[in-house]
Amino acid sequence: MWEYAPAPESRDIANLKPNYRMFIDGQFVEGAGDPLKTVNPGTEEVLAEVSTAGQADVDKAVKAARRAYERVWGRMPGAERAKYIFRIARLIQERARELAVLESLDNGKPIKESRDVDVPTAAAHFFYHAGWADKLGYAGYGPDPRPLGVVGQVIPWNFPLLMAAWKIAPALATGNTVVIKPAETTPLTALVLAEIIQQADLPPGVVNILAGAGDVGAAVVSHPDVDKVAFTGSTEVGKIIQRQLAGTGRRLTLELGGKAANIVFDDAPLDQAVEGIVNGIFFNQGHVCCAGSRLLVQESVADELLEKLHVRVSTLRVGDPLDKNTDVGAINSREQLTKIQELVESGDAEGAERWTSACPLPDKGFYFAPTVFSNVSQAMRIAREEIFGPVLSVLTFRTPDEAVAKANNTPYGLSAGIWTEKGSRILWAAQKMRAGVVWANTFNRFDPTAPFGGYQESGFGREGGRTGLEAYLDV
């Protein structure tokens, strides 16, 4: 095996500041909450101190958003809104390298992913939705579909900037104003996005970005003057929010957890499938709601596939997120690491067979070596619960019908994977999956033009495409 010399990206590019402030009504302001310290999960060092919101700050942000909606943004012609949103897309592209390094510092994801996926896809989301702003009458929701008003959004830590883009871009394009709260452990890129929004000269109050923990998120989603809530996160919290909004008439879309099946049929191109399986579960350390965390392999090829998989996973380089050769970066937080460890222990206790990559791990920081469980049965926790880490559970099947039944045997329904050379089987299996996104002979592909979202307890509503506009329109 080739040795790789370190190839670190410079952390100076991130323009890291000692303090970050929240963005309300076009201004960077201190909040009344206790400041939080955001940590580099790759080293456990404190990166910066971030001001957080108190209830009064949430009120202020919602008021600013309401004012901006009523006086400016809600009545601005779509063609004018579009140009503001195009500006945001361009500014993200111009500051792409800075954002990528900052994202890897704050989140722990490998720089090659933040550089090649998160940041460019975030820019693409703004670019795509900017074009919709003056074409909404052609979107199939009537000649002049109206916005909802003030939108409260709460996003997770796994794709901090990208999730902000997924939320803000369609809301703005449809004429809504935004109060958004990034995750407690990853607030930095959203606050740089606030700078970009300021540089783009968006009218004050159109986008407000608050920092803080779950209590701030709860204050945003339960604020009585918020017309619509969009949440991405765990199914557990999604249910709480759905309960909170019951009877209020406020709109809601949810993008929640998953436990995706990745099905490998016996005629699949195994080497290609191995790459897809690795991408499916080890991309972003497995911190992906649509991760292919349940591998379903046809029994006749299971041994061969598992052997190839072990060889391939052994070559994954785990370590410094800023190193351009790193494949798997740091787990986002100690809390998440503990959760992964606990679920892995349950796999051991319930009798699954654990294989862990012998890769070296850094001494400091939150890391977890890529792990593959075989001999997993459907009743085990590692086959049912979302682990949200670099841990794959392998189950087997004999017939296509059995594969479908096992794949759908979950309350979730976000994504699924299918590996086979047979076209008719791909379309058959894709039709049978009760999941919102089906990747055939590929995995973890995202694009602003392709609607994304779940069935069942993976949430409701879609993000992206024409379909995604519905979440922000009064239709």
Partner 1 sequence: MSENRIAVTKTYKLYIGGAFPRSESGRSYPVVDANGGFLANAAQGSRKDARDAVAAARKAFAGWSGATAYNRGQVLFRVAEVLEGRREQFAAEVAACEGVPAKKAQSLVDAAIDRWVWYAGWTDKVATVLGASNPVAGPYFSFSVPEPTGVVAVLAPQESSLLGLISVVAPVIATGNTAVVVTSQDRPLPAVTLSEVLATSDLPGGVVNVLTGRTAEIAPWLASHADVNALDLTGAPESARADLERAAAGTVKRVLRARPAEDFTGEPGLARLRAFLETKTVWHPIGV
For the annotated catalytic residues, the residue numbers are: 255
d(CA 92, CA 296): 39
Stretch that binds partner 1, among 98-106, 143-151, 370-378, 466-474 (CB under 8 A): 466-474
DSSP label of 325: T
d(CA 90, CA 419): 37
Minimum distance, C-beta of residue 174 to partner 1, in the bound complex (Å):
16
d(CA 332, CA 367): 9
Which positions from 385 to 424 touch partner 1 by CB under 8 A, shown as an x/- string? --------------------------x-------------
Which positions from 238 to 277 touch partner 1 by CB under 8 A, shown as an x/- string? xx--xx-xxx-x----x-x---------------------
Q: Which of 219, 251, 197, 244 is nearest to 84 (CA)?
A: 197
Give the one residue of 13, 16, 361, 430 binding partner 1; rule: CB under 8 A: 430
Q: Which lies closer to partner 1 via its Cβ, residue 63 or residue 90?
A: 90
Does 456 participate in binding partner 1 (rule CB under 8 A)?
yes
Give the one residue of 439, 469, 472, 473 binding partner 1; rule: CB under 8 A: 439
Does 469 participate in binding partner 1 (rule CB under 8 A)?
no
Stretch that binds partner 1, among 79-87, 92-100, 389-397, 441-449 (CB under 8 A): 441-449
Q: Which of 226, 189, 194 is nearest to 14 (CA)?
A: 189
d(CA 106, CA 145): 39
Query: Helix (H, G, I), strand (E, B), or coil: what is residue 20?
Result: strand
Q: Which lies closer to partner 1 via its Cβ, residue 187 or residue 464?
A: 464
- Count residues contacting partner 1 (CB under 8 A)? 45
Does 137 participate in binding partner 1 (rule CB under 8 A)?
no
Beta bridge partners of 115: none
Minimum distance, C-beta of residue 455 to partner 1, in the bound complex (Å):
5
Is 93 in contact with 190 (CB distance < 8 Å)? no
DSSP 386-449: ---SSEEEEEEESSHHHHHHHHT-SS--SEEEEE-S-HHHHHHHHHH--SSEEEES------TT
Q: Which lies closer to partner 1 via its Cβ, residue 396 or residue 410?
A: 410
Does 450 participate in binding partner 1 (rule CB under 8 A)?
yes
Minimum distance, C-beta of residue 225 to partner 1, in the bound complex (Å):
19
Burial annotation 97-129 (CB, 10 A radius, 16+ → b, else e): bbbbbbbbbbbbbbbbbbbebbbbbbbbbbbbb
d(CA 61, CA 53): 10
Residues 6+ apart with CB under 8 A from 116: none
Minimum distance, C-beta of residue 64 to partner 1, in the bound complex (Å):
28
Residue identified by tokens 């579909």 is 145
Is 314 in contact with 359 (CB distance < 8 Å)? yes
> How many C-beta atoms surround the C-beta of residue 32 within 10 A?
14
Q: Which lies closer to partner 1 via its Cβ, residue 52 or residue 456?
A: 456
Which positions from 190 to 229 touch partner 1 by CB under 8 A, shown as an x/- string? ----------------------------------------
Does 370 participate in binding partner 1 (rule CB under 8 A)?
no
d(CA 388, CA 350): 19
Is 318 in contact with 359 (CB distance < 8 Å)? yes
Does 449 participate in binding partner 1 (rule CB under 8 A)?
yes
Minimum distance, C-beta of residue 314 to partner 1, in the bound complex (Å):
26
Q: Which lies closer to partner 1 via its Cβ, residue 10 or residue 431?
A: 431
Question: Which of the residues 105 through 134 are near partner 1 (CB under 8 A)?
Answer: 124
Cα pseudo-dihedral 424, 428, 431, 433, rounded to 10: -130
Does 453 participate in binding partner 1 (rule CB under 8 A)?
yes
Give the one residue of 465, 471, 472, 473 binding partner 1; rule: CB under 8 A: 465
Does 140 participate in binding partner 1 (rule CB under 8 A)?
yes
Q: Which lies closer to partner 1 via its Cβ, residue 140 or residue 360?
A: 140
Stretch that binds partner 1, among 38-46, 277-285, 389-397, 462-470 (CB under 8 A): 462-470
Minimum distance, C-beta of residue 139 to partner 1, in the bound complex (Å):
11
Strand order in the sheet with 46-52: 19-20, 46-52, 33-39
Query: Helix (H, G, I), strand (E, B), or coil: what is residue 148?
Result: coil
| Chain residues in the site for partner 1 (CB under 8 A) | 124, 140, 142, 235, 238-239, 242-243, 245-247, 249, 254, 256, 411, 426, 430, 433, 435-442, 445, 447, 449-453, 455-460, 462, 465-467, 470, 475
